[in-house]
Amino acid sequence: MPAEPAETPVNGESWRRISPLAVIDFVVTAIRQGLVQLLPALAVAFASAASSERFEVAWVLAGLAALLLLGLVWSVLSWMRFGYRLQAARIVVRKGVLLRQALNVEFDRIQNVSVNEPFYFRPFGLAALGIDTAGSSGKEIRLPGLPLAQARALRDRLVAEAQAAGDAPGGETGADEPAPGEEHGGTVLLRLSRRDVVYAGLTANFMLWAAVAIGTVMGSGDTAENLVGWLVQTLDLGQLADSLREQGGDLMVALAVAAAALLALMLLPLVSVIGALLRYDGYTLSVDGDRFRRSSGLLSRHDESVRQHKIQGVTWKQNAIALLLGRINLQLRQASSGSGIESGQQPGTGLAQAFMVPSLLPVQAQSLTARFLPGCDTAAARYTRVDPWRFIGVSSAWIAVPPALGLMPLAVIVDARFALAWLVVAAVIVLIAARCWRQTGWAISGDHGLVRKGFIGSNTSVFPLFKVQRVDVVQTPWLEKRGLAHLTLHLASHSVSLHWMRLEDAEQIRDLALYRAECGDEAWI
Amino acid sequence: MAFTNQQVDADALPRAAELQLHRLPPEHRREILAQSLMVLAIVLIPTFIPQLITKIPGSVRAVLWLIPITVAGFGALFTALAMIRFRYKGYAMREHDIAFRTGLFWRKTTLLPFDRVQHAEVTQGPLQRRFGLSTLKFFTAGGSSVDLKIEGLLSDQAESLRESVLARSVHAR
């Protein structure tokens, strides 16, 4: 977007100020950005200071205080400079201390407007308005320190303006204008209870990642040893064990160790649940005209919205834990903002965070999917599986053959039992591949395609066929002989691929998707 | 949004598999050959260096002849594969989309509706310039990578293809 020294007032309107409390927001942003950039430097400085003999805590503290003071002064200057004003077809934001800039955002470039209530603003009834623009720059404009009601009114006005500007050439109906100033102008589709949010935490993929992370930390011997050593020392565990042994013998010690291990295991879900509470507490999903909006958050409330026609697809995520609890997490897929294409011609939302609708019962997931993708009946989908022998055979061969190359010579030279070990491993791999094959399938339900994959749980991509942007069909001479093919459907948000399909199925899906994409002239992004 | 959901007769759909693909111009084959030979020369020349060092005994040097021979063998093989791959490359245009097939073993056919094209580019490398060839690239919304890339079109062909695709795309600007 063009930056110019727009000091000349247009329409005679002067710059609107934001609350002085916005300084807090500037400080927080400065600290957040500063920490990321300065952390390595700080760590080095601290380490060298600590190792040198003239190490003085006072100096370090003084340095930190100076940095903080500098940040504060900078933030005050930023606030003094900050201003915004609305003009006929754009919003102008004036900011910057040394590099002074005025950002012009045309209303028709606005992709999304959100009202966030960070925890430090909530006691004062303030909010931060985020404006997301189209274009590869993907920069978000942030107006911190607006009174909540004003922020909401501004959001609704900007959304209405953007809608009006965007719809004019496309000839769409922009009749549903939101009622200004209310928290939720539309109908509430979903409210999550605390229990749902706890389930969302338990079923988050984070759990699996955390397990992996802890596994790696424990796997690297030094770290684990140091950690255990440190724990034993600080908590005086040795003495604790001794006193336990005196009172109740070895059994008591074993029990205590088991309890500690259990506690550590419980800690993981706890962290995940706390994360979910922070993010999803008070989750409300509402619809207003063709705009879906979610707002949630415990300390900081976040608000996010998407227009129905921007939704590229819905992904149902159900991992093993979610399967056990009978819940499904939905993710709305939107066009990913791409870089690398010049002049910012490319529309796309610069939202980093995924639009999640967590912790749904299957019935809710079905009805909400039908809301997000009108006419999509997920219950009616009948899945077709892919070719079992090639799927299981090839995917297990990829994993099982390389170890065989290592183990077979060992079996010949050292001990025949290595061959046995490989057989066991190979059998497990084949079983896993067979399970993955059972979970893999595709379906066409009306105007929508569904592709399911998974191992214990499953991931199902549901997408309108007409949103497909590109179709790839891959064949090797070997596949051709057996009448099979790999199919990849590319959407603006993600791509969906299926391997080892029957060629005629792949071709039929391709023809259908292309027909749908080429028939309609609806906006798809 | 006016929503309709008529049944589509699957057999009546236009079939992309029945497309007659155009081969790429023979200049592209010559370009592939020239490129392969250039790469081969760059790799091959250093392998002769041991033959110039007289301090290495003659018997060892005789064995070292195996290196350039192997390299040349592989070079010939890859060049031959590239020449055969050329025969499998092809493109076609329908009323609403463009198709491109490439690959010798991994035969990939891409179909891209005109309406989904956001942006198109024609580029020309130094070697391509000598043969009067260009590369045509199409981009869609979303990802940052190229969605369809046709290497080795005649320059005016690439330009006219680009123009006709963009002319039929409602959304490209």
Measured distance CA(B134)–CA(B155) in Å, rounded: 5
Q: What domain range is A428 assigned to?
A: 388-437
Strands B148-154 and B133-140, by their bridges, are antiparallel
Q: Average of pLDDT values for A54-69?
A: 79
Query: 129-158 in B: which are within 8 Å (CB) of A?
Result: 139-145, 147-148
> What's the pLDDT score for residue A505?
94
A127 and A239 fall within a common domain: no
Cα-Cα end-to-end distance for chain B: 25
SS3 A138: coil
Range with the poorest average pLDDT among A1-15, A205-219, A340-354, A425-439 = A340-354
One domain, residues A116 and A30: yes
**What is the dotted CATH code of the domain comprising B90-168?**
2.30.29
* Cα–Cα distances in angstroms (integers) from residue B73 to residues A41, B44, B82, B85, in the given order: 53, 11, 14, 18
Helix H or strand E segment including A147: strand A140-147
Q: Do A338 and B147 touch (CB under 8 A)?
A: no
User: A130 Cβ partners below 8 Å, 6+ apart?
Assistant: A112, A113, A114, A115, A116, A140, A141, A142, A143
What's the number of domains chain A is made of? 3
Report the alpha-carbon angle A61-A63-A65, nearest 5: 70
Q: What angle do CA B14, B15, B19 make, to 5 degrees?
A: 115
Single out the residue of A347, A340, A514 nearest to residue B98, CA to CA.
A514
Same-domain status, A119 and A244: no
Locus of tokens 């010559």: B30
Among the partner residues A309, A474, A522, nearest to B106 by beta-carbon distance: A474
Cβ burial of A349 (10 Å; 0-12, 13-18, 19+) is: buried
Whether B115 sits inside 8 A of A336 (CB atoms) is no
Does A132 have pLDDT greater than 90? no
pLDDT tens for each residue of A324-377: 999 999 999 987 654 333 333 333 333 345 789 999 999 999 999 999 999 899
What is the model's pLDDT at position A313? 94
Domains of chain B, by residue range, sit at: 30-84, 90-168
Distance separating alpha carbons of residues A327 and A276, to the nearest angstrom: 15
Residue A161 and residue A52 share a domain = yes
Backbone angles phi, psi at A9, to 5 degrees: -70, 135
Query: In this model, does residue A50 exceed pLDDT 70?
Result: no
Position A19 pLDDT exceeds 60 = yes
Q: What angle do CA B56, B57, B62 make, to 5 degrees?
A: 100
Share of chain A above pLDDT 90, in %: 32
Under an 8 A CB cutoff, do B105 and A512 touch? no
Q: Give the distance, in angstroms, between the CA of residue A107 and the centroid of all CA atoms in the same chain.
A: 27
Position A215 pLDDT exceeds 80: no
| Structure-model confidence comparison of residues B172 and A199, the more confident one | A199
Q: Residue A375 in contact with residue A446, Cβ under 8 Å? A: yes
- Considering the domain architecture, whether residues A220 and A161 belong to the same structural domain is answered as no
Q: Is A319 part of any domain?
A: no
* Contact call for residues A357 and A363 (beta carbons, < 8 A): no
Residue finishing a domain among A402, A437, A472: A437
Same domain, yes or no: A118 and A61? yes
Nearest alpha carbon to residue B122 among B83, B93, B164: B164
Sheet holding A140-147, edge to edge: A110-116, A126-133, A140-147
The whole-number average pLDDT for the span A163-167 is 69
The top-scoring range by mean pLDDT among A197-201, A250-254, A327-331, A419-423 is A327-331
Q: Are residues A27 and A155 in the same domain?
A: yes
Q: Are residues A213 and A160 part of one domain? A: no
Q: Is B15 near chain A, with CB under 8 Å? A: yes
Q: What is the mean pLDDT of residues A488-495?
A: 91
Average pLDDT over residues A475-479: 94
Q: Do B16 and A491 touch (CB under 8 A)?
A: no
Residue stretches of chain B with pLDDT short of 50 = 1-3, 173
- Of the three residues A409, A437, A465, the one that is the final residue of a domain is A437
Assess contact for B21 and B99: CB atoms under 8 A.
yes
- Are A253 and A174 found together in one domain? no
- The complex's ipTM works out to 0.89
Q: Domain check: are A147 and A50 in the same one?
A: yes
- Residue A53, classed as helix, strand or coil, is coil
Asked if A156 and A27 sit in the same domain, the reply is yes
Residue A83's DSSP bridge partners are A94
Point out the domain boundary residue: A414, A437, A460. Answer: A437
Q: What's the pLDDT at A139?
A: 58
Minimum distance, in Å, between the CA of residue A456 and any CA atom of chain B: 30
A154 lies in some domain: yes
Which stretches of chain B are assigned E, i.e. beta strand?
90-93, 97-102, 107-113, 117-123, 133-140, 148-154
B 84-123: CB under 8 A from A: 96-97, 103, 105-113, 115-116, 118-119
